[in-house]
């Protein structure tokens, strides 16, 4: 059996169920793999300043946040990669000109285009965001990630044309399908995972990842054992080695059990 060393777990739709709770089977699985000496990372599009409650519940101290722009290993910073200022500014202008809202994530807070907008309030409520502020040009050099809000199906192209090195990934959360994460080709979960494997001197074959959204495709592609959740985006399954059960049906536990890592 492979001597697995590291496990990367997406949060929304992978660890967290639609009601924002974590299954007991998931907690059990994470605890068991940690007892075996396997490092566990939360790997999320979320800002890291908003996930401490999840980390504490699972006793996890290593993270990839902002879709790969910032990583921490055992509470120590590994790397941080802000977005290009001109790209951020152009996205702010495109959103303004097309009636869209957006959130810009810094290391410390969530910067919204309009905190009074109903779709922004819906977004804040869905992710229980606490550290929110209004947009100003002062933040343009500090942006680690962006989520675009209130886009119709054909409108991601407006942003992708502005910077060919970026693509948009639909947020795989019920009720928020009009939201898109901004993913850089050279900064994403997969590249972050690759850096961490090199840093910790862990071979690809000894790494495992679970995800459900299109922002997980790079991560599932670069690990040895990539699992797409049963509730995952239909286009994600081609990037995963395995398809496990849904987040509401012990998806993480069943995937790890298939590898012989949990009882």
Query: 199 lies in which domain range?
Result: 6-81+187-258
104 burial level (CB within 10 Å; 0-12, 13-18, 19+): buried
The verdict on residue 241 lying in a domain is yes
Say how far apart CA 88 and CA 18 lie, in whole Å: 30
- Domain co-membership, 21 together with 150: no
- Domain co-membership, 90 together with 151: yes
Say how far apart CA 91 and CA 97 lie, in whole Å: 10
The more confidently predicted of residues 43 and 2 is: 43
The verdict on residue 95 lying in a domain is yes
Residue ending a domain, among 184, 209, 231, is 184
Strand (E) positions, the chain?
6-9, 39-43, 62-65, 70-73, 76-80, 101-105, 110-112, 132-134, 145-149, 166-170, 180-184, 207-211, 225-228, 242-243
Does the pLDDT of residue 56 top 90, yes or no?
yes
Supply the pLDDT for residue 65. Answer: 97
Residue ending a domain, among 150, 184, 218, is 184
pLDDT tens-digit readout, 60-91? 999 999 999 999 999 999 999 999 999 999 99
Residue ending a domain, among 184, 214, 244, is 184
Does the pLDDT of residue 1 top 80, yes or no?
no
Supply the pLDDT for residue 175. Answer: 79
> Helices marked H in 201-238 — which ranges?
217-222
Domain count, the chain: 2
Supply the pLDDT for residue 203. Answer: 97
- pTM for the whole thing? 0.90
Q: What phi, psi does 182 have (nearest 5°)?
A: -90, 120
């Amino acid at each position: 059996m492979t001597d697995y060393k590291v496990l990367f777990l997406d949060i929304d739709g992978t660890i967290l169920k639609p009601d924002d709770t974590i299954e007991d089977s998931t907690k059990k699985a994470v605890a068991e793999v940690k007892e075996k000496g396997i490092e566990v990372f939360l790997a999320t599009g979320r800002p890291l300043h908003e996930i401490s409650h999840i980390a504490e519940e699972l006793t996890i101290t290593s993270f990839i946040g902002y879709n790969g722009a910032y990583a921490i290993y055992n509470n120590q910073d590994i790397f941080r990669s802000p977005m290009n200022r001109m790209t951020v500014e152009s996205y702010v202008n495109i959103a303004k000109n097309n009636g869209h809202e957006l959130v810009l994530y810094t290391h410390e807070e969530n910067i919204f285009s309009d905190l009074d907008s109903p779709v922004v309030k819906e977004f804040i409520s869905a992710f229980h965001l606490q550290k929110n502020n209004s947009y100003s040009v002062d933040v343009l050099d500090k942006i680690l990630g962006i989520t675009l809000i209130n886009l119709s199906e054909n409108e991601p192209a407006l942003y992708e044309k502005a910077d060919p090195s970026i693509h948009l990934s639909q947020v795989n959360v019920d009720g928020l399908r009009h939201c898109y994460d901004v993913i850089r080709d050279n900064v994403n979960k997969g590249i972050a995972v690759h850096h961490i494997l090199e840093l910790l001197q862990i071979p690809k074959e000894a790494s495992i990842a679970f995800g459900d959204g299109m922002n997980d495709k790079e991560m599932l592609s670069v690990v040895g054992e990539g699992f797409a959740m049963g509730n995952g985006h239909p286009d994600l399954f081609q990037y995963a080695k395995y398809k496990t059960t849904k987040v509401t049906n012990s998806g993480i536990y069943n995937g790890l059990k298939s590898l012989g890592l949990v009882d």
